[in-house]
Structure formats: C-alpha cells, structure tokens
Chains A and B, each alone.
Chain A
Amino acid sequence: MAMRVALRCVPANFSHKGPRLSHLAQISAALQLRRTDLTRTLSTTSQFSTALKFTDKHEWVQVDGKVGTVGISNFAQEALGDVVYCGLPEIGQKLENMEEFGALESVKAASELYSPLTGEVTEVNTDLAENPSLVNKACYKEGWLIKMTIENPSELDGLMDDAAYEKFIKSLE
C-alpha cells in the first residue's frame, strides 16, 4: 500500500465517522508511517488491536486478538447506494490478500469485495440476508460483513489507519 500521505504527528481533522483512536495511538500510527521504508523490526499491530485499518478498496478490518472483522467504509456505502443484496463467502473459505471474496449489489451496481488479509472465514453476518441495508445504516457496526483469521499479521502494516484513509478519500474527490 503506497503511503503517499503527508506525515503529521497528530491528524488535525480527526474524522468522527470511525471509532476514536487514543491520542497516543494517533502519534504512534503517524510514526509507523514514517518507518515504512525501514526494516520493520517491531510488530506494531498488536498495540492497535481495536483500531480500524483501511484498504484502498474501501474495506476496513478491525483486529481483535487473532480474528479480524471486515466491512466497508462509509465512503463506500455512500457511493454504492442502497444495498439490496450481499453476496458473501462461506465459513471455512480461505481468502488471499486482495482476492475477491464476494460482491454487494445495490440499486446502482454490483461492486466486488476484496479481502484485506490472508486468512480463513470464521463467521458471516447472517443478519444481512434479511436486512442488507444494515451495510448502509451501520457500516462500522451491525453492517459488518465477515470475520476471518489473520494468517499474516504483517499484512496489517500495509493498510491505512483512519487518518491516512481520510486523506486518501479526499484525494479521490
């Protein structure tokens, strides 16, 4: 993941859309970005186990121990429009980082979902079968899509934190 963001110690405009990062976590996250061209000797992911990480395909993953919960961002659900169907994988399906694992169909179009990590699907949000609009209404909470194991925690280092993601979506507009 290209880290083309300007480095700041504390993001000036903290987005209220995602969960709150502690001040310390924000500084640490920015320092992490500074380190991307150095050898990573520290495993930094375990400190940020509750923070959301984002892909450039607008998925988020939230790590809780060895399991990651995956969903789509607010930017994505807005762009998608009203979701009418969630095409999700089966429990036990093995996913590769960046592999397509399903699709969301909305009134606007079908849009593919890409796995942020390598791992195995452990849970699928069955509420979405009856209520696909949860993806629009609560994309960071009840609208989660799948849970999966994390085979390579270092893949998390390649994802964007909240501040970096905010910058990224601004650059798209």
Chain B
Amino acid sequence: MVLRSLCVLRAQAASLSGLPAALLPGGSGLDLPGSGLVLRSLSTDVFQNLALEDWIHDNVDLQSRSILLLWRNSAAVVVGRHQNPWQECDLRLMRRSGVPVARRRSGGGTVFHDPGNLNLTFFSSRKNYDRARNLRVVTGALRALRPGIDVRATDRFDILLDGHYKISGTAAKLGRTAAYHHCTLLCSADRPLLASLLRPTCHGIHSNATASLPAPVQNLMDHDPSLTPESITRQLAQQYLAEFGSGGLPVVPVQPSDPAFGGIDRAAAALRGWDWTHGRTPRFSVDTALELADGAAAATASVHLEVKAGRVEACRLGVAPEWLPGGPPARLAARLLGARFCPSEAAAVAEAFLRAEGGGATGARLGDLCDKMVALM
C-alpha cells in the first residue's frame, strides 16, 4: 500500500504535490511500516531550503514519524540565529562574489554552504530529539562506505576526521512538540573560498552575539575520492532508514516551490530580507580607526559606532583638526544616525552630505572620509 502510493507520487514527474498534504495531520499519512522517511530537496536556494525546513517543522506531524531532509545549496554563508554577520564573514567580498548571507533559526555558528557541502536535517518529536543518535547515522554511513575511516562525533556534536579536521558542525531548534537537528558534511566544498569569506567585515566589533569557534576543516573527497556527495547521500539514506525503521523505502525528492507547500515562497522572502539577515543582529559597537589620505598627506581618524537592529544608533568621528575642522565630520556622523549599517545606505547619506558640504578646500578629504566610512560596512 505504502510503496504503491509512493510510486504513484513519483510518477507525477518527480514533483510530489501529494506529498505535503499526505504528511500533514489528517492527511493520508503515508502509513509507513516504520516511522522514518528520507526527503531530498530539489532546490539549491538556501532561503527556500531554510523555509522548507521551517515548513516541515511547523506543519508535519512528527509525533510518530521521523524525517531526514537532505539538501545542498549554491554558495552561501549561513550564520546562526544570534550571530553578527559583520563579525562572522566578509560581507564586502561576498557582495562582490555574489554570495548571499543567510541567517537560520537554529543556534550555533557560521558555516559556508556550496554544492560540495551536504546539509542534513533530522526532524523528530521533541521527546525523540537525540543528536548523538543522528550523528551515529552519519558516522555509520561513512564507515560503511570507507571501512576504517576515523570519524568521530565530539561532545559538542562536531564530527572530526582523523581526530583533527572538522567535517561537520551541528545546530538545532526546539519547538513546542517537535525539534530539528541539522548538520553539515564537507564533501568537496570550495575551501579557498570558504577561508576567504569566513573573516570579519571590519575590525573592532564588540558584541555579546554568539561567536563561532573556528576549526581546521577538510573535505571528505580529499581524504577518499569515492566519498562524493552522491555516494554519501545514498548511504546516508540507507543508514537512516535502517536506524529509524523503514528500510527499503526510496529517497523522496521534494520541490519547495511546489504550491502544495503553502507559504514557502513568502517565508523564503522573509528569510532573504535584510531585516532578518542583518537587522536581527544583537546590538553591537564598532571601535576602529580609518586611514585617511588625500594623495599628498595622511592621517588617522577614530570611529565609534553603535548598531542596534542593524541601524546606526550612535556615531562619533574623531578627526585631527589639522586634517579637517570638527564641524563637517560631526555633521556626517549625525546624518548617519538611523541609517542601516550597510554600504548602499551609507553611500546615499554620504552623497547627500557631500552635495551640501563637499565643496572647497576640504572637499577631497571629506570625500575620502566618506569612502572610508562606507568601506567599513
């Protein structure tokens, strides 16, 4: 009965419009002999996949069923719920490279996603939430593919290769009656890009946002070329179904943009929005110096900024009076109040400021001060 209904669903051109309804309380239930199900997202958009995660968590009856969702994204940096993206990654470089920043709803640290990095989300009831058990599925799958491989979960729920290289990090969200635990798995990620992006945008940030713990990483494919995302995906599905009790069922592909997943596009748009990705940053301050120059001479200015909900709440510029008279820098600082701590808004403020005050002898130095301020963000 179960396999027949799944075959019918798969026959619908790999787009399972029946699947979401079947998984909802009161739906046809996909009465499974065991209680585990493996889904694979067909989307590579990090915001759609994060929205899909939330949809499953909020809408599927997870009291008697466990689900593993497998997903991969195009390049993106994903920060934890309470983190500071300016601190965790180089937003400037990311803008130039077209790599978006996303903020997930679970806690934990920052990770780099790309097609070489597998994402696994283990959904369960809150009672059955067990990260160690989930990670045993992962280490078990890797050992099945490559006997003797040294992979171990730590007490922080990282997975280490050869006792040293981090190949997986974990984060989780507990809801009222359900929970999800997700983790990454480095198969063949672009490590040089990862290293260049996971650096602060600017220095001198003080905040109590949760900080990431940097660790040396390695790709599983570098360790053994047979450990591809595809081979690992297949083995993970098998291992999961063996552990969670529904051996033999196929991995079910899901398309988040399918209208049957009501509201996912709206949720993805909210996750993509600046107010969530940047505006949810815990309050922080920046204390740093700007190196000013006008082609002939140089000077240093001090900057103090306070940023709340992603907007400038306080700004103080300390510029030597020989370099610039006190008035204009103070007026620039005042104009920045209330603006988003973001280069496009800062540039607009700077442009208006320079139109008003940028003429005359100090014009070049004021222009330089503005450029350096914008470059901070």
Chain A interface residues toward B at CB < 8 A: 56-57, 79-80, 84-85, 87, 90, 103, 105-106, 108-112, 114, 129-130
* Given A85-B107, A85-B209, A105-B81, 5 further pairs, Cβ under 8 A: A103-B107, A109-B171, A110-B80, A110-B107, A110-B173
B193 at the binding interface (Cβ < 8 Å) = no
Contact B107 A109, beta carbon cutoff 8 Å: yes
Can you name 15 A-B pairs with beta carbons within 8 Å?
Answer: A57-B176, A85-B282, A87-B81, A103-B81, A103-B82, A103-B105, A109-B106, A109-B172, A110-B105, A110-B107, A110-B171, A110-B173, A111-B175, A129-B208, A130-B208
Contact B176 A84, beta carbon cutoff 8 Å: no
Contact A85 B208, beta carbon cutoff 8 Å: yes
Specify the main secondary structure of chain B where it touches its partner.
loop
B293 at the binding interface (Cβ < 8 Å) = no
B376 at the binding interface (Cβ < 8 Å) = no
B174 at the binding interface (Cβ < 8 Å) = yes
Question: Inside 8 A of A130's CB, which chain B residues have their CB?
Answer: 208
Question: Inside 8 A of B209's CB, which chain A residues have their CB?
Answer: 85
B179's nearest neighbour on chain A, judged by CB, is A109
Q: Taking A105-B210, A109-B107, A129-B208 as contacts, is the C-beta distance between A90 and B309 under 8 angstroms?
A: yes
Question: Inside 8 A of A57's CB, which chain B residues have their CB?
Answer: 176
Bound complex: CA A91 to CA B91 (Å): 30
Scoring A84, A85, A109 by chain B CB atoms within 10 A of each residue's CB, the highest score goes to A109
Question: Inside 8 A of A106's CB, which chain B residues have their CB?
Answer: 107
Within 8 A of A (CB), among B254-312: 282, 309
Bound complex: CA A106 to CA B129 (Å): 15
Contact B175 A112, beta carbon cutoff 8 Å: yes
A156 to chain B, nearest CB (A): 20
Bound complex: CA A114 to CA B107 (Å): 17
Contact B174 A85, beta carbon cutoff 8 Å: no
Question: Inside 8 A of B107's CB, which chain A residues have their CB?
Answer: 84-85, 103, 105-106, 109-110
A99 to chain B, nearest CB (A): 14
Partner of A108, one of B80, B81, B172, B282: B172
Contact A85 B82, beta carbon cutoff 8 Å: yes
Kindly state the interface size class of chain B when it binds its partner.
20 to 34
B176's nearest neighbour on chain A, judged by CB, is A57
Bound complex: CA A103 to CA B173 (Å): 10
B179 to chain A, nearest CB (A): 7
Contact B176 A110, beta carbon cutoff 8 Å: no
Bound complex: CA A103 to CA B104 (Å): 12
B312 to chain A, nearest CB (A): 16
Question: Inside 8 A of A84's CB, which chain B residues have their CB?
Answer: 107, 210
Q: Taking A85-B82, A85-B107, A103-B81 as contacts, is the C-beta distance between A109 and B208 under 8 angstroms?
A: no
Bound complex: CA A87 to CA B276 (Å): 13
Contact B175 A110, beta carbon cutoff 8 Å: no
Bound complex: CA A106 to CA B176 (Å): 15
Question: Inside 8 A of A108's CB, which chain B residues have their CB?
Answer: 172, 174
Question: Inside 8 A of B179's CB, which chain A residues have their CB?
Answer: 109
Bound complex: CA A85 to CA B282 (Å): 10
Partner of A109, one of B173, B176, B282, B309: B173
Within 8 A of A (CB), among B135-175: 171-175
Partner of B173, one of A85, A111, A114: A111
A94 to chain B, nearest CB (A): 15
Contact A110 B172, beta carbon cutoff 8 Å: yes
A137 to chain B, nearest CB (A): 18
Question: Inside 8 A of A56's CB, which chain B residues have their CB?
Answer: 176
Within 8 A of A (CB), among B167-189: 171-176, 179, 181
Bound complex: CA A109 to CA B107 (Å): 6
Bound complex: CA A110 to CA B81 (Å): 8
Bound complex: CA A129 to CA B206 (Å): 13
Bound complex: CA A108 to CA B107 (Å): 9
**10 closest residue pairs by CB, A with B:** A109-B172, A110-B107, A105-B107, A111-B174, A109-B174, A85-B82, A110-B81, A110-B106, A110-B173, A85-B210
A135 to chain B, nearest CB (A): 14
Question: Inside 8 A of A109's CB, which chain B residues have their CB?
Answer: 106-107, 129, 171-174, 179, 181
Bound complex: CA A87 to CA B80 (Å): 12
A105's nearest neighbour on chain B, judged by CB, is B107
